[in-house]
Structure 1
Amino acid sequence: MKEKRISLIDHHIQLAGFCSMDELCQHFNISISTLRRDINTLLTQKRVQKVYGGVASFVQNVIPFENRGIINKVAKSSIAEQAAKLINSNELIFIDSGTTVREILHFLPKHVAKLTVLTNNLDIINYIADHRADIGLITLGNFYKTSTRSFVGDDTVHIIDKYNINKAFMAATAVSIENGLTNSDVQEFEIKRKIVLKANSVFLLADISKFDSSTLMTYAQLSEMDGIITSACPSKHYVDYCKTHHIQLIY
């Protein structure tokens, strides 16, 4: 009985990527003391690792950045196009690092003028430098991460404090109601979290395949979003959640 339960817990964590202790207790209807003993067994077997807020799969199966752009390419472009419609003249916007958000400026409405972009996204930086001299550009980070084509740095979160950000367009590795918006990089986590706290309006851009999953770290709760832009109507669970929390849902 115990071995079977541990095996089921292990399988659940491997599928989810990250789980809180409370979530596991509720899902398997066990006490916290029983769960801790089971988790210790999985820790010994190097199946899971303790992280802030719960436990995570020992190996995070994150798709390399260079391959992410190929996956659901049409859906990603459609999401970016919808997001671009939310941008107005005279705004300072943040564009996150990710294969969906990097296409936003390609769909920028022609009437938008005097726009300033704050970003750590290499693709956005290159696009503005090569094609949009009319857009103001503020860059974040002094250390380049090849795996995510983004810039990070210890002082970056302090620099963000200086700016009044009208809108932030965020990416996430995975999304769920229970664990919110998650990613797997500590340095990017700090930037994302700070932006969510600082921006007047925050929009999540994520194709539907990223829903109902999670990875290592939660950088924002779903309730902190002002809008969610995705590729298809999510399940009723998410639709109801958005209505309850007054989150604009666009798909």
Structure 2
Amino acid sequence: MYQEERMEAVMQQLKQHQRMSIQEMCDLFGVSRDTARRDVVRLTEQQAVVRTHGGVMLPNMRETLKGYTERLEKSAAEKRLIAERTAQEINDGEAIMLDASTTVQFAAEQISSYFLTVITNSIVNAESVPEIMDSDIYLLGGRLNKEHRFLYGPSTLAKLDQFYADKALIGVIGICEDGFYYAHEEDAAVKKRMVERSDKVYVLADHTKFFKKHFYKGMELDGADVIITDALPSEEMRTLLDDNGIELIIAGS
């Protein structure tokens, strides 16, 4: 197979799978790693791909943040599956922090532990905890982002410093080899402080979040203890998570 043919085949693979490693190119086309690297250099020069650690990805792998209601409806079945599994991790008597993500909202609705202390910067998630529970709910003050319904700012961070939780439930827009990505720097700052003020950190992310980037990188990979998702990610991602000491839970498996 000529180089031009291989390059076209690589682009077809990327359209289906978003990423491709050097080793996958070698296995698929029966070429050496040096040949695969030359193909990568050529594709990069043409700005058809972006190089990653060990391979390539499409240059437009950037998630576009929708409005809150639209995000709530997107991948709803996957989010419910993740939420049901997440609820099993919450025990009576614990203090938990909930961020402002829609996946965490699904989890808040599924929590069945009766005695809880809940700390959140999300107006929606404060109201999502079932009314039958005997819970103390602390809604952090601050400036309101009206579109995405979260509170943020110096007063929010200062209030967070007064709490320490057993667990934090954190949503993300993207997970890449260099960390977790968010749309808003202000929201990312609150999530990061929640992580610092919690004993164990759960990142809730459906399978579409892997190898996606957005505007702001808010946390390194090793900031999470557990990722709960709905489908087994690629071997490359599993290796990254393992290298960073992150437990991977596949909901429904």
TM-score higher than 0.5 here? yes
RMSD of aligned alpha carbons: 2.7
1:1-40 equivalent positions in 2, closer than 5 A = 8=47, 12=50
Matched, 1:85 2:84: no
1:177-226 deviation per Cα after TM superposition (whole angstroms, max 9, x unaligned): 22x11112121121111111221100100100011011111111122211
1:52-201 equivalent positions in 2, closer than 5 A = 61-109=64-112, 112-128=113-129, 131-132=131-132, 134-178=134-178, 180-201=179-200
Q: Quote the offset at 1:108 in angstroms.
A: 1.8
Q: Distance in 2 between matches of 1:133 and 1:143?
A: 28
Paired residue type of 1:76: K
Q: After alignment, is 238-247 or 163-172 more displaced?
A: 238-247
Structure 1 unaligned runs (5+)?
13-22, 29-55
Distance 1:162 1:207, change over 3 A: same
Paired residue type of 1:122: I
Q: Quote the offset at 1:126 in angstroms.
A: 1.9
- Partner residue, 2:21: none
Paired residue type of 1:8: Q
Q: Quote the offset at 1:240 in angstroms.
A: 2.1
1:118-142 deviation per Cα after TM superposition (whole angstroms, max 9, x unaligned): 00112222234x7246111011133
Distance 1:241 1:25, change over 3 A: closer
- Partner residue, 2:211: 212
Q: Quote the offset at 1:66 in angstroms.
A: 1.8
Please list every run of at least 4 consecutive aligned residues from structure 1 whose deviation after the TM superposition is greater than 3 angstroms: 4-7, 23-28
Which secondary structure does the structure 2 equivalent of 1:228 belong to?
strand
Q: Quote the offset at 1:77 in angstroms.
A: 0.5
Q: Quote the offset at 1:8 in angstroms.
A: 1.3
Which secondary structure does the structure 2 equivalent of 1:74 belong to?
helix
Q: Distance in 2 between matches of 1:27 and 1:85?
A: 37
Paired residue type of 1:89: D
Bigger relative contact order, structure 1 or 2, given CA contacts below 8 A and separation 6+?
Answer: 1
Task: Give the TM-score, by structure 1 length.
Answer: 0.73
- Partner residue, 1:236: 235
Paired residue type of 2:221: L
Q: Distance in 2 between matches of 1:105 and 1:183?
A: 20
**Aligned length in residues:** 205
> 2:63 touches 2:212 (CA, 8 Å); kept in 1?
no
1:130-157 deviation per Cα after TM superposition (whole angstroms, max 9, x unaligned): 7246111011133221221212232111
Q: Distance in 2 between matches of 1:25 and 1:221?
A: 16
1:19-44 deviation per Cα after TM superposition (whole angstroms, max 9, x unaligned): xxxx789989xxxxxxxxxxxxxxxx
Paired residue type of 2:128: Y
Q: Distance in 2 between matches of 1:230 and 1:240?
A: 16
Task: Give the TM-score, by structure 2 length.
Answer: 0.72
> 2:117 touches 2:136 (CA, 8 Å); kept in 1?
yes
Q: Distance in 1 between matches of 2:236 and 2:44?
A: 27
Q: Distance in 2 between matches of 1:73 and 1:186?
A: 25
- Partner residue, 2:14: none
